[in-house]
Chains A and B, each alone.
Chain A
Amino acid sequence: DIQMTQSPSSLSASVGDRVTITCRASQNIRSYFNWYQQKPGKAPKLLIYGASTLQSGVPSRFSNSNSGADFTLTISSLQPEDFATYYCQQSYGTPRTFGPGTKLEIK
């Protein structure tokens, strides 16, 4: 299985801050990489797919960059609605695997 690791596991930030969350795959997954946002009691929501493409309707303050097997989600200016848990996921192979999540909390 392809293992996905995320850091940090939790993060406190303020509205307007620039935030980065990192995900690392255990092997080369090319651009078969996705980010999801999950709010309490809700299903995950696709933010970014194919390592770089914003899902329709997702604000442009979200972006992803990658270097090899390392991927970084950046939120350029945090908004109140961005406080949630973020998961990375690989779709290069099966089983599909997710990172353990990063909980973004209000400072």
Chain B
Amino acid sequence: QVQLQESGPRLVKPSETLSLTCTVSGGFVSSGSYFWSWIRQPPGKGLEWIGYFSSRGTTNYNPSLKSRVTISVDSSKNQFSLNLSSVTATDTAMYYCAREPYGDYDAFDIWGQGTMVTVSS
């Protein structure tokens, strides 16, 4: 059974880069037909899709964050990562990694437990 686990610093200073990693177990990040996504949720608010890296090697980012986001994959470690640059307090959120099988109908079927990141000096 595929499981996802986020890791990374819980506290990031304003203007710095937020870096998180999602480790995939029970499956392979570079095989199959999947989008490997990052999604965030500010405290008490709704869900915002950040972007994905596909198992075919393409990326797609939310235009609202595109200038600051990079999602990459390390197949040797079976991980995918999020870098979000020039963070401000508005980037404080729970960050989730999720798997989205693509094909007939796409949906986020497996989620990590999430990691809370606070942007503060």
| A interface residues, Cβ below 8 angstroms from B | 1, 31-32, 34, 36, 42-46, 49-51, 53, 55, 87, 89, 91, 94-101
Contacts and interface: CB of A to CB of B under 8 A. Distances in A.
A91 B47 contact: no
A1 B61 CA distance: 12
B46 A46 contact: no
Interface residues of B, number: 24
Given A43-B96, A87-B47, A99-B46, A50 B114 contact: no
A101 B61 CA distance: 22
7 contacts: A31-B105, A87-B47, A89-B107, A94-B60, A95-B49, A98-B46, A101-B47
Interface in B46-70: 46-49, 51, 60-64
Nearest 6 interchain pairs by C-beta = A50-B105, A49-B107, A91-B106, A43-B111, A96-B49, A95-B62
